[in-house]
Amino acid sequence: MPDTSPPAAALLAAIRAVVGDHGLLTDPADTDPYAQDWRRLYVGHTSAVVRPASTAELADVVRLCARAGVSLVPQGGNTSMVGGATPDADGSQLILSLSRLNRVRDIDPVDMTLTIEAGATLKAAQTAAADAGCLLPLSISSEGSAQIGGVLATNAGGNNTVRYGNARDLVLGLEVVLADGEIWNGLRRLRKDNTGYCLRQLFVGSEGTLGIITAAVLKLAPRPRELAVALCAVPSPDAALDLFTRFQAHDPASVQAFEYMSGQGVQFVIRHIQGAALPLAEPAAHYALIELATPRTNAGLRASLEQVLEGALADGIVSDAAIAESDAQRAAIWRLREEHSEAQKREGASVKNDVSVPVSKVPELIRRATIACEALIPGIRAVPFGHMGDGNIHFNLEQPPGADPAWFLAQDHAIMDTVNDVVRALDGSFSAEHGVGQLKPYMMPDWRGGAELAVMQRIKAALDPRGIMNPGKVLP
């Protein structure tokens, strides 16, 4: 069992000797921002934030903590939606910030690989890839802050999963500091490597509970030479799905993102985000955002987009559409989608449900979960949005106007359970891309109990016998 009393002064002194004054924050004014999550749902406490500048330093810190039985909470950009990077309140856990491990170690346009440290932001990684004429095909709303280590530790998904898969599909190699401080250097950049258990995939998605990812080799894709983006007003989620299947049938290789938004969600963005505007004549009840991309030249992507939209307009699948004519217009359309979380936060208290179902069931999920939540709390506002093309909907619920935010948040389990009942009936998952964190471990026995959870617990016990790696996360 990890120690639950505050770390001894002697341990902090030994850590300071490893990372230097600059690498150790102990003043509450400095540490408090690290101890609460982005959504301000979890307010923890820590006596120190440790900021190593190299993998070797980080390994030494883990070794010292392992010997002392002190728990560590790894943290990247602190963008978790499920409290995955927030310590608990008793002050016994140290935060291990990866931010200073942020170098690009190597980029190879022939191998199409990027070797990068965990503390680099996803945006910085994308830029490094683009500078080398390649694409890092992972895009999430928080990419300006989210760091590679956290992105991998949570197996982030995002907007391009429909085409390129999730974070785990982009990882060729990893460097990991294990729970006893040993460094595993698995930074291989091989496309084929069948040599026993695939350890890197064990750490991807483990949310820092098995070891700390310090660097990764990521697979790059060819840079798109043509892009086409449209925002469509659609009469229903079923129409949005119909539109998706039309694009897939027309040219499946070109669909890079297919996102759904409700009229309510877009209204919140326009209300709360300065400069956000609807590029259509009238607001609609539902929207689809389509991005087509191809590395081919003269591929006629724009004509292809217009052709599918013309058919959809003629058939009443789409009632209006705006096609981006410039990078600025493309960014403005994406902004309506990417500011959803921020706008919901400003509108009031919200309960998030990051769920997935088979793509074909998305309209049914939206319909049934909306009815069920409205029956549970009259006046509640359903704000479903997200990655329709891969079946991942953020079925978020906003408090009734004027209701007490604390009263609303106190009903989070009832709301999540109501949505999850529908998700289960549709063969879905209670966590699609945000992970389990400290918000959802209570769901694990019900959803993953039996052999699956037992194997996870055995793995945890084998790799982290003292239970010092991000305790309280993932496993109940």
Strand ranges inside 31-111, DSSP E? 49-50, 72-75, 94-97, 104-108
Angle between helix 301-314 and helix 237-250 axes, rounded to 10 deg: 140
* DSSP assignment letter at 224: P
* Angle (deg, nearest 10), helices 9-19 and 55-68: 170
Rounded to whole angstroms, the Cα distance separating 120 from 116 reads 7
Q: For residues 214 and 98, is the Cβ–Cβ distance under 8 A?
A: yes
Rounded to 5°, the CA angle 46-154-268 comes to: 90
Q: How far is the CB of 167 from ligand MLT (least distance, A)?
A: 13
Least separation in angstroms between residue 340's CB and ligand MLT is 6
Site string for ligand MLT, 53-82 (x = CB under 6 A): ----------------------------x-
Q: With respect to ligand MLT, which residue has the nearer C-beta, 394 or 448?
A: 394
- Smallest gap from Cβ 393 to ligand MLT, in A, equals 9
Q: Is 386 in the site for ligand MLT (CB under 6 A)?
A: yes
Q: Does 440 bind ligand MLT (CB under 6 A)?
A: no
Going by C-alpha positions, the residue among 156, 165, 168 that lies closest to residue 84 is 156
The Cα-based distances of 414 to 55, 372, 407, 444 in angstroms read: 43, 11, 12, 16
Which amino acid, 183?
I
The three-state DSSP-derived secondary structure of 381-392 is EEEEEEEHHHCE
Q: How far is the CB of 419 from ligand MLT (least distance, A)?
A: 13
166 binds ligand MLT per the rule CB under 6 A? no
Task: Tell me how far apart the 2 most distant CA atoms of the chain are, in Å.
Answer: 73
Binding test (CB under 6 A) with ligand MLT, winner from 352, 381, 440, 473:
352
Query: Should residue 394 be labelled a site residue for ligand MLT when binding is judged by CB under 6 A?
Result: yes
Smallest distance from ligand MLT to CB 265, Å:
10
Is residue 347 part of the contact set for ligand MLT (CB under 6 A)?
Answer: no
341 binds ligand MLT (CB under 6 A): yes
Amino acid symbol at 379: G
Q: List the interface residues with ligand MLT, window 138-157 (CB under 6 A).
A: 141
From 37, 354, 390, 398, residue interacting with ligand MLT (rule: CB under 6 A) = 354
Give 215 or 443: the residue with its C-beta nearer to ligand MLT.
443
Helix (H, G, I), strand (E, B) or coil at 409: helix
**Which CB atom, from 39 or from 63, has the smaller least distance to ligand MLT?**
39
Residue 83, amino acid = G
Q: Which is nearer to ligand MLT, 68 or 395 (CB)?
A: 395
Kindly state the smallest distance separating residue 352's Cβ from ligand MLT, in Å: 5
Q: Which residues bind ligand MLT (CB under 6 A)?
A: 81, 141, 340-341, 352, 354, 386, 394
